[in-house]
Structure 1
């Protein structure tokens, strides 16, 4: 945790372009994605709209590459017999219950990459998964950016609660 805090302090002191690149790179990393990158960018003091666009684009790009790779992998192993493991059965049950759209909107909870993998492994088309992942990433990025933007601004009016002052 101390390493992460030191890294954030160094990034806050870095040049603006380094900070933008760091927001983009954080948004690419699975399990960090846009829901970590956007708040970090807003803490840096960047305009919220730019941070949301950079975070959403980085997240979207990494998920689309992942969908493309996992879809190709699925085609290669489709001919092989694969016994149903507990993990595979659980993933199939989640897919059957929520579908591609539900999984795409569960991205911040589960991880967009995991949601895409479950959808592709369950037989959904790559294009259909891509469309829903795009919608999910966009919607969550805008919602998170707006919520965090107004939360940070609210903290400016409540100085005793502001951990950044």
Structure 2
């Protein structure tokens, strides 16, 4: 399997203009790539940090909303493809522990980095949170992560002298 960071880098480098931002939007929706890879790569390649952050945030919120709204169908599909006891990555178990200890608010802030935005969204709504509340808190958490990622990426670019 190839490195998601390298894939995002090569895809973004191979395009220009508005197409780069469209790719940022799309790539933030892809499991394993998500905003934690896309934002630093895009800013490192010289894309505008504010636009990158806004577009990445929009992509993240879009996929979270789709997952929450289509949760029943996604869970049925997932259970057909996997053994419920098999979670070799441990991501679901980490997300579940966060949910049990800190509830939806804790999951909204810690889940994206520890389990990924996709699993976080599925767990939150399957654990009993309402769709609107889940989307609301995950949007707040993703907003905080987006701001942090843009700031950290700008600091990293500055320290590395890439500006």
> TM-score, normalization: structure 1?
0.76
Task: Verify: 1:114 aligned to 2:115, yes or no.
Answer: no
CA 145–2 in structure 1, closer or farther in 2 if over 3 Å, else same: closer
Query: Secondary structure at the residue paired with 1:29?
Result: coil
What is residue 80 of structure 2 aligned with on the other side?
none
Query: Secondary structure at the residue paired with 1:28?
Result: coil
Contact map agreement 2:44 2:153 (CA 8 A) in 1: no
Contact map agreement 1:24 1:37 (CA 8 A) in 2: no
**Mapped partners of 1:99, 1:2: distance in 2:** 32
What is residue 108 of structure 2 aligned with on the other side?
104
What is residue 56 of structure 2 aligned with on the other side?
55
Contact map agreement 2:8 2:38 (CA 8 A) in 1: no
**Mapped partners of 2:102, 2:8: distance in 1:** 38
**Mapped partners of 1:3, 1:125: distance in 2:** 32
Deviation for aligned residue 1:93: 5.0
What is residue 134 of structure 2 aligned with on the other side?
129
Indicate the RMSD between aligned Cα atoms, in angstroms: 3.0
| Counterpart selection for 1:147 from 144, 148, 152 | 152
Deviation for aligned residue 1:69: 0.5
- Unmatched segments (≥5 aa) in structure 2: 77-83, 88-92
- CA displacement, residues 71-93 of structure 1 (integer Å, 9 cap, x when unaligned): 5778x9xxxxxxx9697xx5655
CA 117–155 in structure 1, closer or farther in 2 if over 3 Å, else same: same
CA 32–4 in structure 1, closer or farther in 2 if over 3 Å, else same: closer
Number of residue pairs matched? 149
Match runs of 1:2-151 below 5 Å: 5=6, 8-9=9-10, 11-70=12-71, 93-106=97-110, 107-151=112-156
Contact map agreement 1:42 1:48 (CA 8 A) in 2: yes
Query: Secondary structure at the residue paired with 1:57?
Result: helix
Contact map agreement 1:92 1:118 (CA 8 A) in 2: yes
